């Protein structure tokens, strides 16, 4: 079915080019050729949505084949054959298709939010704090901290600050004690204790450790959904 669709598209585009070239208007012929190139690239991408074949090359081939078919029809049925502008149209059609393919390819390439280098789905991750796509290079993704280096440097907070969110997960604020991570006292930091070993940490440090107790590895229940893809996966240790 796809082959029939490709042939039909090429024939229709070739017929359009033939009809325009017979009008004898050079500018119109060249503009039509460019339009056929753009249309060929778009049609091939539409017909081959799964991209089982190289879209750039095939878009160029379809554009060139369609315009050449138009010139062939012109040579067979119109006296005088084709002029130089008609042949230039073949080049313009192929060039327009190639340009469209390159632009689409460039837009489809994902780049790392931090280093701006290209990345693939296999070597990238969405930062749970800023929701930006970053590559797994050590300078971009802090695997043990589950955040990108940008969020790490800016100390972006993920956990809500509402008392209700914390109260149902860790209990009420401690009136005394010291955070065992940053060593701030209860008077200057909002301390919450671990649900298993009762180690106290301030809310900011619980957030820094992604809700996991550094001592016994107990985790705060019902963590923010942004962390769900990382719970129990190997990406926690990726650097």
- Whether residue 71 contacts residue 41, with contact meaning beta carbons closer than 8 Å, is answered with no
- Which of 143, 28, 178, 65 lies closest to 192, judged by CA? 178
Give the range among 76-80, 94-98, 110-114, 207-211 with minimum mean pLDDT. Answer: 76-80
Quickly list DSSP for 109-144.
SEE-TTT--EE-STTEEE-TTT--EEE--TTTEETT
Q: Looking at residue 122, what is its pLDDT?
A: 82
Alpha helices in 24-83 (DSSP H): 26-47, 55-77
Domain assignments of the chain as residue spans, ordered by start: 2-108, 118-237
| pTM for the whole structure | 0.57
- Which of 226, 190, 192, 198 lies closest to 210, judged by CA? 226
Q: Percent of the chain scored above 90 by pLDDT?
A: 45
Q: Would you place residue 108 in the very low, low, confident or very high pLDDT band (cuts 50, 70, 90)? A: low
- Cα(228)–Cα(4) distance, integer angstroms: 46
- Interval 113-134: pLDDT, tens: 999 998 888 889 999 999 999 9
Q: Looking at residue 44, what is its pLDDT?
A: 63
Across residues 151-178, what is the average pLDDT?
95
């Amino acid at each position: 079915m796809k082959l029939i669709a490709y042939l039909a598209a090429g024939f229709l585009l070739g017929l359009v080019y033939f009809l325009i070239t017979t009008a004898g208007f050079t500018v119109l012929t060249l503009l039509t050729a460019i339009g056929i190139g753009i249309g060929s690239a778009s049609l091939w991408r539409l017909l081959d949505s799964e991209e089982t074949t190289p879209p750039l090359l095939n878009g160029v081939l379809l554009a060139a084949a369609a315009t050449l078919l138009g010139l062939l029809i012109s040579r067979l049925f119109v006296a005088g054959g084709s002029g130089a502008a008609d042949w230039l149209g073949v080049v313009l059609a192929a060039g327009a298709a190639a340009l469209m393919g390159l632009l689409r390819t460039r837009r489809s390439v994902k780049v790392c939010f931090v280093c701006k280098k290209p990345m693939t789905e296999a070597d990238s991750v969405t930062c749970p704090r800023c929701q930006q796509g970053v590559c797994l290079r050590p300078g971009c993704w802090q695997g043990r901290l589950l955040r990108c280096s940008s969020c790490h440097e800016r100390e972006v907070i993920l956990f809500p600050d509402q008392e209700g969110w914390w109260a149902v997960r860790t209990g009420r604020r401690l009136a005394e004690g010291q955070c065992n991570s940053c060593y701030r006292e209860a008077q200057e930091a909002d301390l919450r204790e671990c649900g298993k070993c009762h180690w106290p940490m301030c809310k900011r440090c619980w957030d820094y450790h992604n809700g996991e107790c550094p001592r016994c590895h107990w985790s705060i229940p019902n963590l923010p959904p942004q962390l769900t893809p990382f719970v129990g996966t190997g990406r926690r240790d990726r650097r």
